[in-house]
């Protein structure tokens, strides 16, 4: 009898253990209140959007909203959208023609009076997302078909700025007038559009092509200092672009962030003991002539997103080792990790066949104190496929919303609120009227009792809504059913939170 009871107890304990472990698969891990959750929307050759430049504008809009809604459902908070692919523009510009990837023909305007870029920004904000304007600085063409370029493309206006390398043309980064033009492009965007950030990708000097020479030796002989090697001179040109871009953005709108997404390997340890334990065929420092470590030290960035698109234990470039390296070498900036879900079940590295490869990378990011979020390349990678991975990361990692981190240059405390005036009831929404909301971007709407709390958890958030104009916040009626009062926390343009304000919904005007 004793043996039977003892074995029964052991069986019950084993059963409980199995049940606990099986449930823990989907148990959400602790989620931070602030975490960057971004996705890249690649427009070059219509990778993500638009699906075709010749599509009707309404179809293009519908496809864009499908992307936003997919990631909104995953509780992502930042859309990084490519609006300059190769000397072109997804907006009306004094410095570039309309992109053929948007309209089907270089230089042709969209078939609408509406500003497409403003609409794109507004739709992201409506969903509580930041909009980061992604620019490719120095790629001038995507191929050698220069006859398709518009007459206002820099290839035609300034052929002296162009260098052919491989099957593309590039701007010559060594020319001061080229760097000046790029900064003017940035200033035009920041001045005219309500973007939350300007974002550069990894294309600085082009990736090295074996057997080809980037023909900038004459520029180097003219502008290089006597004590500078060609390589150091090239890096100094990139340093100049980054510094001037950052300063231009901050002088125009101090709250607009500047972020860069470099290739994941700075240097291999084999060429520099400070490098990572990797065997990458090319590196950011030696091939692309970019030095993000210097940019961080100088304080020229708000955030950095190294592209760490390899699997966790890949021998030549381990995701784990590279993330650890960036965490150990990041200063003065927010650090996010660029992940490559485009490789899931679509890569020669069979580690990506495991549905837990991407989740394991997210766990590493969460467990690495310096890392404050992730960005996925690219937007379409998880849409309409790999549903098991999507469900897994939604339930375990992204079950509740998160606020983006504030800039590394804006660590001040919460700002005070603004004067509330009244509530206006509409047919399908409620307007909350304030005296002045000019400094604010979003409002967090929480359920509340009579007494205000110091902190309202995001897991009970009713909505994150954009500020409309300078004095109004609109909330969908369906979110406020049977609510007598709500607590409103305002988020300013720097991402800082105000003190909560309790509003009685019967204070109608």
- Give me the CATH number covering residue 385: 3.20.20.80
d(Cα 495, Cα 474) in Å, to the nearest integer?
19
User: What are the strands, taking DSSP E only, across 137-249?
Assistant: 162-165, 168-171, 197-200
Q: Is residue 18 part of a domain?
A: no
pLDDT of residue 18: 47
Q: Give 40's DSSP letter.
A: E
* Number of domains the chain is built from: 2
Comparing CA positions, the residue from 74, 78, 68 lying closest to residue 334 is: 78
Q: DSSP 3-state assignment of 65? A: helix
Average pLDDT estimate for 274-297: 98
Mark out the alpha helices in 277-348 (DSSP H runs): 292-298, 319-329
Other Cβ atoms less than 10 A from the Cβ of 438: the count is 12
Q: Is residue 230 part of a domain?
A: yes
pLDDT of residue 30: 79
- 9: exposed, middle or buried (C-beta count within 10 Å: 0-12, 13-18, 19+)? exposed
Same-domain pairing of 372 and 325: yes
Q: Is residue 26 part of a domain?
A: no
Counted residue by residue, the chain has a size of 509
Give the domain-ending residue among 363, 396, 429: 396
Reported as a pLDDT band with limits 50, 70 and 90, residue 469 is confident
Same-domain pairing of 364 and 441: no
pLDDT of residue 24: 46
Average pLDDT estimate for 163-170: 98
Same-domain pairing of 203 and 340: yes
Same-domain pairing of 355 and 452: no
Q: DSSP 3-state assignment of 329? A: helix
Comparing CA positions, the residue from 343, 336, 248 lying closest to residue 292 is: 336
Is the C-alpha dihedral spanning 374, 380, 381, 386 positive or negative?
positive
Of the chain, the percentage scoring pLDDT greater than 90 comes to 84
CB 450, CB 387: distance < 8 Å: no
CATH of the domain at 466: 2.60.40
pLDDT at 249 over 70: yes
pLDDT digits (tens, 9 = 90+) for 387-400: 999 999 999 999 99
Same-domain pairing of 239 and 370: yes
Reported as a pLDDT band with limits 50, 70 and 90, residue 507 is low
pLDDT of residue 1: 45
d(Cα 165, Cα 175) in Å, to the nearest integer?
17
**In sequence order, what DSSP letters do the residues of 377-413 get, joined into one string?**
S-GGGGTTS-HHHHHHHHHHT-SS--BPPPPTT----
List Cβ neighbours of 8 (8 Å cut-off, separation of 6 or more). Answer: none
pLDDT of residue 414: 55
Same-domain pairing of 235 and 337: yes
Q: Is residue 15 part of a domain?
A: no
Alpha carbon 242 to chain centroid, angstroms: 18
Comparing CA positions, the residue from 498, 500, 504 lying closest to residue 450 is: 504
Comparing CA positions, the residue from 372, 498, 499, 396 lying closest to residue 439 is: 498
Give the domain-ending residue among 341, 361, 396: 396
Same-domain pairing of 276 and 351: yes
Least confident range of 165-174, 372-381, 470-479, 500-509: 500-509
Average pLDDT estimate for 458-472: 92
Rounded to 10 degrees, the C-alpha dihedral 351/315/393/465 comes to: -140
pLDDT of residue 384: 86
pLDDT of residue 23: 47
Q: Is residue 210 part of a domain?
A: yes
pLDDT of residue 8: 53
pTM above 0.85, yes or no: yes
Least confident range of 46-60, 139-153, 341-355, 411-425: 411-425
> Given phi > 0 = left and psi -120 to 50 = alpha, else beta, which region is 166?
left
Q: Is residue 366 part of a domain?
A: yes
Q: Which letter, b or e, does each residue of 467-492 get, where b requires 16 or more Cβ atoms within 10 Å of its Cβ? A: bbeebebbbeeeebeeeebbbbbbbb
d(Cα 206, Cα 27) in Å, to the nearest integer?
44
pLDDT of residue 22: 46
Same-domain pairing of 372 and 441: no
Average pLDDT estimate for 351-372: 98
Give the domain-ending residue among 342, 362, 396: 396
pLDDT of residue 3: 43
Least confident range of 185-189, 207-211, 409-413: 409-413
Which residues form the domain of 433?
420-504
User: What token pair was written down for 470?
Assistant: 């300078």
Q: Is residue 158 part of a domain?
A: yes
Same-domain pairing of 366 and 432: no
List Cβ neighbours of 229 (8 Å cut-off, separation of 6 or more). Answer: none
Same-domain pairing of 231 and 328: yes
List Cβ neighbours of 146 (8 Å cut-off, separation of 6 or more). Answer: 155, 169
Q: DSSP 3-state assignment of 132? A: strand
Comparing CA positions, the residue from 233, 251, 40 lying closest to residue 136 is: 40
Same-domain pairing of 111 and 167: yes
Same-domain pairing of 431 and 333: no
Q: Is residue 6 part of a domain?
A: no
pLDDT at 210 over 50: yes
Mean pLDDT over the full length of the chain: 93
pLDDT digits (tens, 9 = 90+) for 189-207: 999 999 999 999 999 999 9
CB 458, CB 33: distance < 8 Å: yes
CA distances 207 to 47, 231, 242, 402, Å, are 20, 14, 19, 36
């Amino acid at each position: 009898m004793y043996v039977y009871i003892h074995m029964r107890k052991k069986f019950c304990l084993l059963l409980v253990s199995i049940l606990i472990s099986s449930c823990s698969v989907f148990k959400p891990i602790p989620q931070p209140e602030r975490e960057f959750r971004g996705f890249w929307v690649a427009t070059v050759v219509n990778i993500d959007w638009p699906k075709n430049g010749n599509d009707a504008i309404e179809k293009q809009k519908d496809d864009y909203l499908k992307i936003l809604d997919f990631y909104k459902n995953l509780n992502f908070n930042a859309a990084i959208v490519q609006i300059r692919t190769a000397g072109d523009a997804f907006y009306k510009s004094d410095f570039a023609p309309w992109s053929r990837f948007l309209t089907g023909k270089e230089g042709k305007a969209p078939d609408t009076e509406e500003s497409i870029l403003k609409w794109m920004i507004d739709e992201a904000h409506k969903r509580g997302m930041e909009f980061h304007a992604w620019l490719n600085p120095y790629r001038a063409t995507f191929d050698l078909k220069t006859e398709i370029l518009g007459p206002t493309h820099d290839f035609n206006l300034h052929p002296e700025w162009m260098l052919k390398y491989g099957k593309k043309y590039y701007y010559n980064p060594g020319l001061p007038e080229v760097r000046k033009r790029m900064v003017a492009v940035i200033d035009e965007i920041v001045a005219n559009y309500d973007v939350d950030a300007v974002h550069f990708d990894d294309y600085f000097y082009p990736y090295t092509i074996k057997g080809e020479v980037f023909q900038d030796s004459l520029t180097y002989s003219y502008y290089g200092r006597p004590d500078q090697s060609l390589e150091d001179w090239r890096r100094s040109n990139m340093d100049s672009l980054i510094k001037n871009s950052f300063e231009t953005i901050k002088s125009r709108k101090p709250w607009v962030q500047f972020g860069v997404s470099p290739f994941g390997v700075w240097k291999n340890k084999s060429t520099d003991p400070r490098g990572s334990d990797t065997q990458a065929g090319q590196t950011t420092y030696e091939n692309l002539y970019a030095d993000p470590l210097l940019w961080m030290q100088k304080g020229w960035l708000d955030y950095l997103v190294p592209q760490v698109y390899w699997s966790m234990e890949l021998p030549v470039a381990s995701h784990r080792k590279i993330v650890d390296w960036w965490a150990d070498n990041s200063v003065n900036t927010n650090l996010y990790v660029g992940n490559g879900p485009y490789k899931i079940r679509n890569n020669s590295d069979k580690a990506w066949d495991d549905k837990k490869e991407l989740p394991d990378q997210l766990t590493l990011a969460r467990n690495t104190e310096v890392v404050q979020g992730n960005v996925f390349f690219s937007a379409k990678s998880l849409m309409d496929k790999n549903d098991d991975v999507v469900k897994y990361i939604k339930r375990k990692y992204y079950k509740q919303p998160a606020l983006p981190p504030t800039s590394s240059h804006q660590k001040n405390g919460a700002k005070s609120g603004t004067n509330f005036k009244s509530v206006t009831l509409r047919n399908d929404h409620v307007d909350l009227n304030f005296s002045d909301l000019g400094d604010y971007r979003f409002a967090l709407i929480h359920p509340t009792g009579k007494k205000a709390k110091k902190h309202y958890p995001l897991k009970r958030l009713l909505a994150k809504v954009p500020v409309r104009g300078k004095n109004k916040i609109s909330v969908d009626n369906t979110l406020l059913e049977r609510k007598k009062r709500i607590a409103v926390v305002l988020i300013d343009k720097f991402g800082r939170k105000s003190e909560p304000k309790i509003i009685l919904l019967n204070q109608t005007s």
